[in-house]
Amino acid sequence: MEHLINTKVQEIEVSGIRKFYNLVSHIDDVISLTIGQPDFKTPEHVKQAGMQAIEENFTSYTHNAGISELRKAACDFVAKKYNLSYEPDSEVIVTVGASEAIDITFRTILAEGTEVILPGPIYPGYEPIIRMCGAVPVHVDIRNNHFRFTLDMIKPYITDKTRCIVLPYPSNPTGVSLTETELKEIADYLKEREIFVLADEIYSELTYDQSHISIASFLKEKTIVINGLSKSHSMTGWRIGFIYAPKDITKHILKVHQYNVSCATSIAQKAALAALTTGIDDAIPMKKEYIIRRDYVYNRLTAMGLQVVKPDGAFYFFVKIPEFIQLNSFDFALEMVHQAKVAVVPGSAFSEYGEGYFRLSFACSLVSLETGLNRIENFLNTKK
């Protein structure tokens, strides 16, 4: 019966991140620098709110867009943090993580044959959804622009079929953000064009050298902001995300959301309410620790002679594989697991423009980072 499966589904592949993880997860004594989630525990007060919701039997369906208190808290959060103004009753939707938010946004705005412009390398979660919508992903090679997805990189790829531009920043896998000037240039150029911007800002609370600025500050009427609590509050398993957009857009996204999941989990919504109110600054202690780790890893990598761009957000380094290594990124990462007992994510997982790189996460302890980097250094020395 497999031949009857939707051809668009047949043509997509399992994420390269997951594929590599499944291949090496059984190997003993491996230091994993692959993790894409905080190594901190969910804050205690957030867990207590979730448990209280269970005890109080808050276990039924909620409003499709989420409980009103959470929508208000979500709007208050971005108003305080990023100076963004949204109406709780009509311009925010609580979703099952940022992944569902991306899915229902694309399914709402894309049509057969339309084009979506994305930077490359990029997180692999966008392209399969775009293709399942019958749209065409158009990757822009930003490797020689210090991984910056700026207007001069975007303009040559805009056509009359362009429906959306994806701005994921801080970036997974590069950790790079955009400056206020760069964002304003993109916004000014798009003001007179009928093109959506999907701004995936899931790492917005984890910026190190500058405060996060959303392109919605300059182009609210065309921007759909994706955010959530997975990274800011170490709540990956709680699956709470948010969509912020003008009401003439959210009213249509809400229809897709309604038929997709009805609503986000009621218990997780109560926990999210605690995260955005009592825990509005929960990311600050994590961020301080990430800065220490980032600086340590950067110094170690550059001392090895490896080519890296210092990340100003998220918790990843995207590292150029040395030229003396005559392997593609997947085989390089696989060999390093077997020979050095350290796991990283091959760059090919992040589109064809990630080939020749590997992603290293610093969302793990300094002890693990030190051990892992020692092993990487020894491994590279044996290859020279």
pLDDT in the model for residue 198: 98
- The predicted model gives 2-12 an average pLDDT of 90
pLDDT surpasses 80 at 25: no
- The predicted model gives 108-134 an average pLDDT of 98
pLDDT digits (tens, 9 = 90+) for 72-81: 999 999 999 9
pLDDT in the model for residue 19: 78
pLDDT surpasses 80 at 24: no
Task: Name 256's Cβ contacts closer than 8 Å, sequence gap at least 6.
Answer: 104, 107, 108
Distance between CA atoms of residues 262 and 154, nearest Å: 36
Distances in whole angstroms, Cα of residue 191 to Cα of each of 152, 159, 162, 223, 245: 16, 15, 14, 11, 16
DSSP assignment of 299-321 equals HHHHHTT---PPPSBTTEEEEEP
pLDDT digits (tens, 9 = 90+) for 174-193: 999 999 999 999 999 999 99
| Alpha carbon of residue 231 to chain centroid | 9
- The predicted model gives 329-353 an average pLDDT of 96
Query: To the nearest whole percent, how much of the chain has pLDDT over 70?
Result: 100
pLDDT digits (tens, 9 = 90+) for 164-173: 999 999 999 9
pLDDT surpasses 90 at 92: yes
Mean pLDDT of all residues belonging to the chain: 96
pLDDT surpasses 90 at 341: yes
pLDDT surpasses 80 at 23: no
Residue 304 has which token pair? 């090895």
β-bridge pairing 342-343 and 31-32: parallel
Sheet with strand 241-244: strands edge to edge: 92-95, 241-244, 223-228, 196-200, 162-168, 115-120, 136-141
Query: To the nearest whole percent, how much of the chain has pLDDT over 90?
Result: 93
pLDDT in the model for residue 241: 98
Q: What domains does the chain contain, in order, with CATH numbers?
A: 2-41+282-383 (3.90.1150.10), 44-276 (3.40.640.10)
pLDDT in the model for residue 233: 98
pLDDT in the model for residue 267: 98
pLDDT surpasses 90 at 247: yes
Is the Cβ–Cβ distance between 220 and 249 less than 8 Å?
A: no
